[in-house]
């Protein structure tokens, strides 16, 4: 058993850290702050991803032939640690980088790879993912958006998607639609790559409680996709969904949570109440220590899991544990951070910025839900890890079918 | 013993509910959130319904009712996150003036409040990070000789609810150096002075605006001093108890609504071919929400009654109410979001309005931790005297 | 709204308190302790109940004609407060007093009332309740113990009951058996009063984790009951079960929990660690204050509920809230009390006495389960109070059918 | 990095499991609970399997393995609540002698331990209510001149695990007045002296007996002093870290079994015509049990590795392990009882054995609260040095 990194792995870390010190956005290392203005922020994030791509740091886990580094899971862990260390700006095309490109690499045609991968990497084309529907929620297989052949190798798409992150800025959508409704709900689905710049597609932002509008409803009214934009086989879209969802489980946010915790620790060392630093209060110390222990546990569990995956190659349902633990940790930590502000907890902080605790705490409710809710993660653990009897009613979400 | 709301309480709840529904219900709060000022019009209507007169003594044209009656009303107000300084005016300012005011002060303020012509708020903090009483710093310099006592107020109060929508703010200031609340005096300050300026803060709960209230060398006469010089602290503590109970009553009404929303959604929304409320995870979470709401409601009623009756455990009950409810009701609203899945995490769903209100209230005028400290001190004192 | 007691109610309290000061077992008020020896303890508790009965304080809620005081729900609350105040010994025949006698008063024959009620009151005859079976658990209606007519007005009973408190000392058993299995599971049940002193009945104590043996398995092997011992109508036993279970909800243990809390508070005032009283530690104060608030909430909720019942006459499903809150409170409080003992938490306390925290903490797991488990209380609240859709699989226990 | 158990670790787990099963599994613990002494026979068999030699250095006839290897084994032992002072001997005493002992002391004790001829325990508390280090009070009076140093031990240690079943107890005594651990010295005391008497205490966990160890004026030579005079404190703290990790490893094994028991019961037991594990309340509670168990296991592995590697965060990791696991694993066993309904609350169901073990461990050698204090101090020190 060895929890330490090899020299080779440490040199990966040094290379990345040096590159970040050289290439992080101006002033970021001293004071990480995203532009307030929506359009400016999108431009800033596009620039940042292009910078990453130019340096070879946008898709580290991609094969080298497509512009990645073929980074191992452990190197990906180091990558997350280092990005968290500087509170790096998010990759605007993260859905493309982490989910869609790996899926295309696995099941896409060579033409699709050539056409799409470079522009995913550089964020020249931003992607969104069209799964959820108003009546389908976490039960993705119940979706009703339809795609029908319209001759000349074209498909006509009709329906509505919801909770679609980045749809308002996306150039392409990875869409799953029903192409045959004669079978069971898992049959007759097809995955399409759909260009967003069509009159037949409109998006409507969803106003979220932290006053953000990054989720959308997307309406398809006779939108067009061509045959060469079908991923995998027609009517076999569920396999594609499963391929993509396997990539969802490989991720973890524990390192950015740890960084938040360390920032909070620093806050408690310097911030005083009645002249005494917060950190000297027993109740604050006890809570911080409990977070510390939970974070250490989650990190150690993640390393155990990564070590296992390095051998088996596939992320197991244990990924549900990481999601459950991380989402609850993030929420509890941010909620506690807001409470520590004293009476000022009655105020927004820093104008609803991505890095303030108040926005983060409210956003954490959304993160819970986006991750499939703890209820679903607990179903997955109960049924797929532990083998408890399945409730035919409570499908454990598309992630785990 | 009959620890239920009376028929009259229930009637006022029903009337209030019908009235607020007829005005748009929670859309009033949503309009306020969107930047409109709905308080002025709304207040006139509240006054027409005599709600502004509830706690004003009979001899000043009021109804002479207490916290129980008010709590029953505020539950309904909270259900709709109703904007306006009703708790500040009716639960905090009126009882302070009633209990501490001179005959002159009472006559000056109370009938106008009852009529709806005067709205009031309270300003305690000078520092938005320091808890009380350390957060009270503003000095009020005494001037003049024996005959013509005056006070010069200078400084900026923070976290003043509805300062720009109220006529008079009760300001806590230090007239003497002292430990804790010792040396704190209360002043009734009119907001339309040139020397007084209210600046909107970015309150988490946009339905309940908070202000910085800067007082730039305002000289007030002795008739602005409310209660004993240097000795306003204990009355302020009781006032905050009333405020805590009133605020929690609003949150209880909101929590009652959140339970309803979860039950409705759990009954109607289907996933995997079943109403989601049939899943035990949703059902049990909703049951726990209801239990927490009912527990908080029970504490509110008891504390309100104990405050009205001047029971020896009134302060302990108020501390218990805030300590118990703050985080638990906050979780009720979070669980309502959770029960609604993606639909819950939208601006259109009401839970976030309540959630932000709960979070705003949590530390305001005393965190749960501080209230637990007070509670246990009060309990120990009571046990020593048994 | 009025949370205070009337003068009349207070005089009920004064009368009881004066009586208790006169009649409590020798030395009890100074140092409440039950005999260690099982047989001695039973004798002690029988004596105590006889003393209560002689003073008219055994069945205060019974009608006066049967030896009670017709005490209102509020007077019953005062009764509980006062009993908790002196940590009064339990009534050994509590099942008879609180459940079986009220059921007989409501649906029993006059002959049954005359025969049984006086001896229930005086504990001359101790009662147990035969509901649960190994395969039926909380699903009482699934019971399989059978009673068949054997001629001459006799019934022959065969089967097995479990979790039967006091069966090893009981003289009579309130038993529900299946007399017709042709209908649904709620049909064909009959309630019997069964004499325990028969060769055909044997009991086997269940060893419990707190090293106690007050629960039993009871085996019926051709046991006899006569026609005049049938309660209600033959095959209509479910109605009798429902009548009895309504009485279960009238109770609360919040006042004895409050007394435990006050004892713990006193402990924290006097007990020191490193020379400092426990009560001066922030973490102890905060926990105690939270218990205090929870107890105040539960008491106020109980008073509201009692006030409502004074009018409606029937305990509603809100009783489930009291059970849920009280059981969790008791468990949390006792668990905390054990933790406060410091390293000595690794030891039993006072020889597993009924009043020590360690036994109490372990026993509290059993109390949770005996109360029908929190899962079932949450089902009842969800379905019967809030009206959420019923899961046909998860019946909300016999208490609420 | 490869943060998994090695094949060898897994092999030793498998062997241990087969061995203990063949001896009766958890019935060994039940026999101990019923008053039998199963330790003597069992220990000989553990020695035959070389388990007693695991942490003994190679040069003293051991295997020179560390905490990771031992933790892997103890997980299996914990699954069966295996009686015997294996953690005390292998995780506490052996490393103390290895790290602090003179060549003479090592040669005297370690080969005998490896062979299974010598069992050891540790005695720290003189007062069962005082936490450490305040609980260390026994004085050891220094006698004799420079050439013939002797110490006279007098007093009664409490909460000594397996004192009557061990040959040597490492006793913490104060040789000098001092703050905290300063002035604490460690002595290896043989238990078969007339002046040493072990009296059984009523330990909550009857499978792991605790004793009072009264030492009635025992004079020991300098060769009994382990490590520096007055300076045994820091080694004792590290020893307790190892003990905490070893004890938690046992609880993790028990928790793993408790999850299994809940899964088995949830699959087999039917209520209302359904296996109860299909109800989300049971399913989700069991999932949470598994998550807590896996989290605690991850901490145990990391802390064990960090202790073996002398990583700078080893003490913090050990503190985190105990702080995290104590109450959470206790709840795992309670939830297992809960999942089993009435069947869970019987002597025959194993959960109460584990539950009592968890409660016994909670405050022993450091409550979770005390460990959180240590953790945050260590974290702050590390951050300052970054």
Is pLDDT of A44 > 90?
Answer: yes
Quick check: C301 and B376 CB within 8 A? no
Q: Does D376 touch chain B (CB under 8 A)?
A: no
Is pLDDT of C394 > 50?
Answer: no
CB C152 within 8 A of CB C159: no
What pLDDT score was predicted for residue A397?
A: 39
Name the pTM for this structure: 0.95
CB A338 within 8 A of CB D243: no
Compute the distance between CA of residue D361 and CA of residue D247 in angstroms, rounded to an integer: 8
Report residue C127 as tokens: 């009662």
Q: How confident is the model at residue D299 (pLDDT cuts 50, 70, 90)?
A: very high
Is pLDDT of B305 > 90?
Answer: yes
CB B131 within 8 A of CB A273: yes
Quick check: B337 and A207 CB within 8 A? no
Of B129, B281, B359, the CB nearest to A342: B129
Report residue C116 as tokens: 């049984």
What pLDDT score was predicted for residue D28?
A: 98
The domains found in chain C, sorted by start residue, are 7-92 (1.10.540.10), 127-236 (2.40.110.10), 252-394 (1.20.140.10)
Closest chain C residue to A286, measured at CA: C283
pLDDT averaged over chain A? 91
**How confident is the model over C200-204, as a mean pLDDT?**
96
Closest chain C residue to B309, measured at CA: C2
What pLDDT score was predicted for residue A135?
A: 81
Helix (H), strand (E), coil (C) string for B156-189: EEEEEECHHHCCEEEEEEECCCCCCCCCEEEEEE
Catalytically active residues of A, by annotation: 248
**How confident is the model over A173-188, as a mean pLDDT?**
94
Angle between helices B280-309 and B233-268 (to 10 degrees): 150
Q: What percent of chain D has pLDDT over 70?
A: 99
Closest chain B residue to D280, measured at CA: B280
CB B353 within 8 A of CB B81: yes
Q: How confident is the model at residue C395 (pLDDT cuts 50, 70, 90)?
A: very low
Q: How confident is the model at residue C396 (pLDDT cuts 50, 70, 90)?
A: very low
**pLDDT tens, residue by residue, C213-251:** 888 999 999 999 999 999 999 999 999 998 888 887 667
Label residue D8 exposed, middle or buried (CB < 10 Å: 0-12, 13-18, 19+). exposed
Q: ∠C208-C211-C214 over CA atoms, to 5°? A: 60
C319 versus C239: the higher-pLDDT residue is C239
Quick check: C375 and D281 CB within 8 A? yes
Quick check: A286 and C281 CB within 8 A? no
How close D245 gets to chain A, by Cα (Å)?
14
Is pLDDT of D99 > 60?
Answer: yes
Is pLDDT of A395 > 50?
Answer: no
Is pLDDT of D143 > 90?
Answer: no
Quick check: C283 and A286 CB within 8 A? yes
Compute the distance between CA of residue D113 and CA of residue D50 in angstroms, rounded to an integer: 10
What pLDDT score was predicted for residue A392?
A: 62
Compute the distance between CA of residue C273 and CA of residue C342 in angstroms, rounded to an integer: 9
Label residue C82 exposed, middle or buried (CB < 10 Å: 0-12, 13-18, 19+). buried
What pLDDT score was predicted for residue B378?
A: 96
Is pLDDT of C179 > 90?
Answer: yes
Contacts of C262 (CB under 8 A, 6+ apart): B383
**D-contacting chains (≥3 CB pairs under 8 Å):** A, B, C
Closest CA to C52 of C103, C85, C93: C93
**pLDDT tens, residue by residue, B55-81:** 999 999 999 999 999 999 999 999 999
**How confident is the model over C365-371, as a mean pLDDT?**
79
Closest chain A residue to B369, measured at CA: A283
Of D129, D341, D355, the CB nearest to C344: D129
What pLDDT score was predicted for residue C399?
A: 33
Q: What percent of chain D has pLDDT over 90?
A: 91
Report residue B146 as tokens: 């024996």
Q: Decide: helix, strand or coil at residue A35.
A: coil
Compute the distance between CA of residue C384 and CA of residue C185 in angstroms, rounded to an integer: 21
Q: How confident is the model at residue A141 (pLDDT cuts 50, 70, 90)?
A: confident
pLDDT averaged over chain C? 91
Cα dist from D59 to A127, D107, D110, whole Å:
63, 9, 10
- Which positions in chain B touch D286 (Cβ < 8 Å)? none
Q: Decide: helix, strand or coil at residue D199.
A: strand
Is pLDDT of C349 > 90?
Answer: no
**How confident is the model over D24-40, as a mean pLDDT?**
96
Lowest mean pLDDT among A324-338, A384-398, C364-378, D165-179: A384-398
Label residue C18 exposed, middle or buried (CB < 10 Å: 0-12, 13-18, 19+). exposed
What pLDDT score was predicted for residue B145?
A: 72
- Which positions in chain C touch A283 (Cβ < 8 Å)? 282-283, 286
**pLDDT tens, residue by residue, B259-302:** 999 999 999 998 878 899 999 999 999 999 999 999 999 999 99
What pLDDT score was predicted for residue C400?
A: 31
**pLDDT tens, residue by residue, D103-113:** 999 999 999 99
How close B109 gets to chain D, by Cα (Å)?
53
Label residue C234 exposed, middle or buried (CB < 10 Å: 0-12, 13-18, 19+). middle
**pLDDT tens, residue by residue, B235-253:** 999 999 999 999 999 999 9
Phi-psi region of A390 (alpha: psi -120 to 50; beta: other; left: phi over 0): beta
- Cα diameter, chain D: 81
Is pLDDT of A89 > 90?
Answer: yes
The domains found in chain D, sorted by start residue, are 7-118 (1.10.540.10), 122-226 (2.40.110.10), 233-384 (1.20.140.10)
Is pLDDT of D66 > 90?
Answer: yes
Q: What percent of chain B has pLDDT over 70?
A: 99
pLDDT averaged over chain B? 95
Q: How confident is the model at residue C42 (pLDDT cuts 50, 70, 90)?
A: very high
Q: How confident is the model at residue C284 (pLDDT cuts 50, 70, 90)?
A: very high
Lowest mean pLDDT among A18-22, A375-379, D198-202: A375-379
Lowest mean pLDDT among A315-324, B208-217, D131-140, D235-244: A315-324
Compute the distance between CA of residue B345 and CA of residue C260 in angstroms, rounded to an integer: 43
What pLDDT score was predicted for residue B178?
A: 85
Compute the distance between CA of residue C163 and CA of residue C5 in angstroms, rounded to an integer: 39
Q: Where are the beta strands (DSSP E) in C70-145?
A: 127-130
**pLDDT tens, residue by residue, C65-110:** 999 999 999 999 999 999 999 999 999 999 999 999 999 999 999 9
Report residue A36 as tokens: 């307030």
What pLDDT score was predicted for residue A313?
A: 76
Q: Where are the beta strands (DSSP E) in C119-214?
A: 127-130, 146-149, 154-161, 172-178, 189-195, 201-206
Compute the distance between CA of residue A315 and CA of residue A152 in angstroms, rounded to an integer: 40
Quick check: A273 and B159 CB within 8 A? no
What pLDDT score was predicted for residue C249?
A: 66
What pLDDT score was predicted for residue A319?
A: 81
ipTM for the complex shown: 0.95
How close B66 gets to chain C, by Cα (Å)?
11
- Which positions in chain D touch A306 (Cβ < 8 Å)? 1, 3
Of B3, B277, B373, the CB nearest to C389: B277
Closest CA to B171 of B149, B193, B143: B193
Lowest mean pLDDT among A342-351, B290-299, C57-66: A342-351
**How confident is the model over A232-251, as a mean pLDDT?**
87
**A-contacting chains (≥3 CB pairs under 8 Å):** B, C, D
Q: Does D296 touch chain A (CB under 8 A)?
A: yes
């Amino acid at each position: 058993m060895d929890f330490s990194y090899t020299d080779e792995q440490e040199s990966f870390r040094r290379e990345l850290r040096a590159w970040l010190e050289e290439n992080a956005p101006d002033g970021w290392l001293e004071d990480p702050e995203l532009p307030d203005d929506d359009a400016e922020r999108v431009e800033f994030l596009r620039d940042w991803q292009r910078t990453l791509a130019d340096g070879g740091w946008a898709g580290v886990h991609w094969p080298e032939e497509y512009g990645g580094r073929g980074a191992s899971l452990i190197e990906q862990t180091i990558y997350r640690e280092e990005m968290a260390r500087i509170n790096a700006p998010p990759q605007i095309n993260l859905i493309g980088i982490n989910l869609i490109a790996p899926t295309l690499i696995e099941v896409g045609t060579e033409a699709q790879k050539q056409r799409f991968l470079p522009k995913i990497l550089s964020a020249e084309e931003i992607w969104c993912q069209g799964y959820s529907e108003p009546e389908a929620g976490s039960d993705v297989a119940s979706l009703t958006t339809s795609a029908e052949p319209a001759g000349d190798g074209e498909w006509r798409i009709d329906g509505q998607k919801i909770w679609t992150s980045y749809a308002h800025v996306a150039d392409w959508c990875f869409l799953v639609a029903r192409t045959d409704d004669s079978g069971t709900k898992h049959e007759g689905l097809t995955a399409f790559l759909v260009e967003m710049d069509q009159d037949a597609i409109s998006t409507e932002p969803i106003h979220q409680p932290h006053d953000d509008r990054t989720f959308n409803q997307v309406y398809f009214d006779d939108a067009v996709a061509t045959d060469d934009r079908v991923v995998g086989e027609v009517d076999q879209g569920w396999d594609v969904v499963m391929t993509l969802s396997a990539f969802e489980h490989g991720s973890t946010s524990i390192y950015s949570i740890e960084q938040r915790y360390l920032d909070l620790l620093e806050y408690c060392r310097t911030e005083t109440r009645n002249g005494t630093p917060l950190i000297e209060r027993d109740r604050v110390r006890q809570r911080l220590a409990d977070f510390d222990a939970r974070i250490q546990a989650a990190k150690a569990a993640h390393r155990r899991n990564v070590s296992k995956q390095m051998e088996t190659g596939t992320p197991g349902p244990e990924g549900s544990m990481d999601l459950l633990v991380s989402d609850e940790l993030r929420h509890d930590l941010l909620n506690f951070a807001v409470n520590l502000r004293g009476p000022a907890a009655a105020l927004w902080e820093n104008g609803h910025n991505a890095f303030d605790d108040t926005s983060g705490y409210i956003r954490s409710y959304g993160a819970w839900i986006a991750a499939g809710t703890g209820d679903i993660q607990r179903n997955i653990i109960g049924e797929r890890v532990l083998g408890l009897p399945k409730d035919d009613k409570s499908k454990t979400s598309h992630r785990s079918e | 013993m009959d620890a239920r709301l009376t028929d009259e309480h229930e009637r006022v709840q029903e009337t209030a509910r019908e009235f607020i529904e007829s005005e748009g219900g929670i859309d009033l709060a949503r309009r306020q959130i969107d930047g409109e000022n709905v308080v002025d019009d709304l207040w006139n209507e509240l006054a027409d319904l005599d709600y502004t007169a509830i706690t004003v003594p009979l001899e000043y044209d009021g109804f002479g009712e207490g916290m129980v009656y008010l709590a029953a009303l505020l539950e309904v107000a909270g259900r709709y996150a109703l904007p306006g300084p009703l708790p500040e005016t009716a639960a905090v300012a009126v009882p302070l003036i009633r209990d501490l005011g001179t005959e002159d002060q009472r006559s000056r303020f109370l009938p106008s409040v009852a009529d709806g012509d005067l709205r009031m708020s309270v300003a305690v903090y000078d520092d938005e990070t320091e808890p009380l009483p350390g957060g009270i710093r503003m000095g009020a310099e005494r001037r003049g000789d024996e005959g013509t006592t005056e006070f010069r107020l200078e400084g900026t109060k923070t976290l003043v609810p509805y300062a720009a929508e109220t006529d008079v703010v009760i300001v806590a200031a230090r007239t003497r150096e002292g430990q804790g609340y010792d040396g704190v005096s209360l002043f009734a300050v009119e907001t339309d002075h040139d020397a007084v300026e209210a600046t909107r803060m970015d309150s988490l709960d946009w339905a309940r605006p908070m202000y910085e209230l800067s007082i730039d060398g305002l000289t007030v006469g002795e008739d602005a001093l409310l209660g004993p010089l240097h000795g306003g602290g204990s009355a302020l503590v009781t006032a905050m108890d009333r405020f805590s109970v009133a605020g929690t009553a609003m949150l209880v009404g909101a929590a009652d609504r959140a339970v309803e929303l979860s039950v409705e959604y759990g009954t109607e929304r289907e996933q995997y071919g079943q109403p989601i409320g049939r899943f035990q995870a949703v059902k049990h979470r909703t049951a726990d929400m209801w239990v927490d709401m009912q527990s908080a409601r029970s504490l509110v009623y008891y504390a309100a009654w104990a405050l009205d009756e001047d029971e020896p455990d009134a302060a302990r009950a108020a501390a218990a109410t805030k300590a118990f409810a703050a985080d638990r009701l906050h979780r009720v609203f979070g669980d309502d979001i959770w029960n609604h899945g993606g639909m819950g995490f939208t601006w259109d769903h009401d839970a976030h309005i309540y959630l932000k209100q709960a979070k705003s209230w949590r530390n305001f005028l005393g965190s749960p931790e501080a209230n637990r400290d007070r509670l246990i001190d009060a309990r120990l004192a009571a046990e020593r005297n048994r």
